[in-house]
Chains A and B, each alone.
Chain A
């Protein structure tokens, strides 16, 4: 009898363990990868339209010129007119739309010249990426309800959990359910607040419209000071000063 009880307890414990294990995975608790982070530069801001700020524990810098280096742990924020093009060491490119915020973390190879594992935490806004396909590297983006693991692609992500692929492949894990979906050319996926997942295929026009938002970052930018002069009813001059960022006609990437 005692053996039976012990056997039942053991079985019960094993079953509970299995149930617990199963329930853990179904809760979708995502643990951010542990990266071997250093103070080395992991990316650069190649182009930008103000305002763009880079913050970390020790600083909060508003960008004044291109070429700003980013280290692992930096938070990049764009204002309501701001755009940024972030170039990683492995030549992956992230184009960040206005009113966005993300935390960039990356582990470099021993030579400190390539990103081995990159993790971008998308907190606000959106971005469009070109990521090189390399079997020995990881590139992962998390949103509130999804994790996009990139296999090498051109794709977009928004903080409100929309992911679309222009070309290539992205593996998306729904954080709440642990469900994994593979998105390929022209496919999109949207995780709603109630956990439902909407997915499908985008038309060429829809894809073009999504990519269009980042068009400003496709060429080097020239800053111009512009004064627009008006005359008021008294005949006096009223001047409005604005700054514009315009694509350079000579440089196209």
Chain B
């Protein structure tokens, strides 16, 4: 009787030691690679799904801190997000089950073993994948290049012991990382060369092209506003972009909307039918908007900077006559032959923009006519 009681106590103690050893004697460490960023999210899912470690995105290390052997262990990885819930579960199959001797270590890069010591292992670890429908949607949207938005992702790793077709969690550890909408994705870069070319545009001969940096086959909305005509340029931009684009409302001279058009590529060539759209010496503001989808399938707006250009004066008509007053017929003809455009005037260090050039030249011409001003050289 006493013997039976003793045996029961020994067996109970052995179980209770084993239970205590589950969490404290197997040290588990999960960490994201130092170079990991949310931009690698899609690749990380690929690495898990394809079980490759072409690049390391996370690392799992386990070490036996006991004096005994921890047998028949395997790894379960679960990736979750606050928005999508469980995305996928990768559970190690019977292949690659490992037993860690005292002090034995095993290290995974993604789901591939990269380092082992003091252990026994049965073949290469293989993982069974379970991707949820939400997870499938996320991974698909990532591959489509949709914007990553605000979320919290967690990698939950468990080391389980397999005993007679029963799994027992020895230890588990998790690591989380946040993602957020990248503000830079809401900005469309513009083609500097085009921006420079638009400055001093010769409206009498040039049909300008507006161009920006972006993907083909994406809907872009180009809005050009006459800053002299618009009462409040910023408000007009905001109001137009907030409104859905309408092909029946692409111009509104009264409010200062020069053009409000859609383009399916990152450029827009002003067509011939809009000849005379721009007047010399006026300043125009332009901006491009496009919509982008997030992986959460919401829509955000992306914009270029709001840019301005002022058109130059071709040397013809009144401008030519005004310049003849100053430079004489011969010199003015040389300007015309050389294809020069009047840009701006500076008098005693004060620069008069294109809007003021005509006024300044007219004043000068009036004074020259009345012999109140003489041009010396």
Report which A residues bind B (CB closer than 8 A).
49-51, 81, 83, 212-216, 219, 224-233, 235, 237-238, 240, 242-247
Contact = CB atoms under 8 A, between A and B. Distances in A.
A242 B349 CA distance: 13
- For A216, A231, A247, the residue with the greatest tally of chain B CB atoms inside 10 Å of its CB is A231
B370 A215 contact: yes
B343 interface: yes
B364 A244 contact: yes
Contact of B377 (A216, A233, A243, A246): A243
A242 B377 contact: yes
A233 to B, nearest CB: 5
Contacts of A213: 371
Contacts of B312: 231
B256 interface: no
Contacts of B367: 246-247
- For A215, A230, A238, A245, the residue with the greatest tally of chain B CB atoms inside 10 Å of its CB is A230
B371 A242 contact: no
Contacts of A227: 345-347
B326 A245 contact: no
B46 to A, nearest CB: 47
- For B199, B375, B376, the residue with the greatest tally of chain A CB atoms inside 10 Å of its CB is B376
A232 B314 CA distance: 11
Contacts of A235: 196-197, 199-200
Contact of A247 (B323, B340, B372): B372
A209 to B, nearest CB: 11
A50 to B, nearest CB: 5
Nearest to B349: A225
Contacts of B344: 229
A235 B309 CA distance: 13
A212 B368 CA distance: 11
Interface in B334-377: 335, 338-349, 364, 367, 370-377
17 contacts: A81-B377, A215-B372, A216-B373, A216-B374, A225-B348, A226-B348, A227-B347, A228-B342, A229-B343, A230-B340, A230-B342, A231-B312, A231-B343, A235-B199, A238-B338, A243-B376, A247-B372
Interface residues of B, number: 31
Contact of B373 (A225, A229, A247): A247
A156 to B, nearest CB: 15
Interface in B24-60: none
Nearest to A211: B371
Contacts of A214: 371
Contacts of A232: 338-340
A163 B196 CA distance: 60
B327 interface: yes
Given A230-B335, A231-B312, A242 B375 contact: yes
A237 B371 contact: no
What are the 6 tightest A-B residue pairs by CB atom distance, in nearest-first order? A215-B371, A230-B340, A227-B346, A243-B376, A229-B343, A231-B200
B347 A245 contact: no
Q: Interface SS of chain A: helix, strand, loop or mixed?
A: strand
A205 to B, nearest CB: 16
Contacts of A237: 343
Contacts of B346: 226-227, 229
B376 A83 contact: no
B207 to A, nearest CB: 16
B376 A242 contact: yes
A213 B341 CA distance: 32
B374 A231 contact: no
A240 B339 contact: no
- For A228, A229, A247, the residue with the greatest tally of chain B CB atoms inside 10 Å of its CB is A228
Interface in B291-319: 312
A214 B374 CA distance: 11
Contact of B376 (A49, A219, A238, A247): A49
A134 to B, nearest CB: 30
A245 B335 contact: no
A242 B341 CA distance: 18
Contacts of B372: 215-216, 219, 246-247
Given A226-B345, A228-B345, A238 B340 contact: yes
A76 B77 CA distance: 102
A210 B343 CA distance: 37
Contacts of B339: 232-233
A216 B371 contact: yes
A247 B370 CA distance: 11
Contacts of A83: 374
B133 to A, nearest CB: 56
Contacts of B364: 244
B353 to A, nearest CB: 11
Contacts of A230: 335, 340-343
A213 to B, nearest CB: 7
A245 B374 contact: yes
A246 B375 CA distance: 9
Contacts of A233: 339
A212 B376 contact: no
B142 to A, nearest CB: 43
A237 B335 CA distance: 13
B346 to A, nearest CB: 4
